[in-house]
């Protein structure tokens, strides 16, 4: 199973949205300095903000793309504040 994850950097005051089948491993990779030129290396430490889990791979990629296309911190914050929005995304992208 896959998940869409949203992580937050206090240093950058920014969110990062991604998809993975192993969130713990992926978060560790974001917080590793193996790739010093990458966007996420500038925001270390990243912390977990929101997980949307129990998704099939295609569903996860579609939800990730939708969230990114919104270009909105407020939308991301509302996803956490209103869980029914997440359920709506899961239903929309089946």
Q: What is the number of domains present in the chain? A: 1
pLDDT of residue 57: 97
Q: What is the CATH number of the domain that holds 61?
A: 3.40.1440
Residue 47, strand partner residues: 8
How far from the centroid of its chain's Cα atoms is residue 10's Cα? 15
pLDDT at site 33 = 83
Edge-to-edge strands of the sheet including 2-9? 14-20, 2-9, 46-55
In tens digits, the chain (94 residues) has pLDDT values of 999 999 999 999 999 999 999 999 999 999 998 878 888 999 999 999 999 999 999 999 999 999 999 999 999 999 999 999 999 999 999 8
Residues spanned by the domain of 21:
2-92
């Amino acid at each position: 199973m896959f998940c869409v994850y949203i992580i937050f950097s206090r240093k950058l005051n920014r969110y990062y949205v991604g998809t993975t089948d192993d969130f713990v491993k992926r978060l560790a990779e974001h917080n590793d300095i193996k790739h010093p030129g990458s966007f996420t290396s500038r925001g270390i430490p990243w912390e977990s903000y929101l997980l949307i889990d129990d998704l099939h791979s295609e569903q996860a990629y579609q939800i990730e793309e939708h969230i990114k296309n919104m270009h909105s911190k407020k939308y991301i914050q509302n996803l956490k504040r209103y869980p029914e929005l997440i359920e709506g995304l899961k239903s929309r992208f089946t």
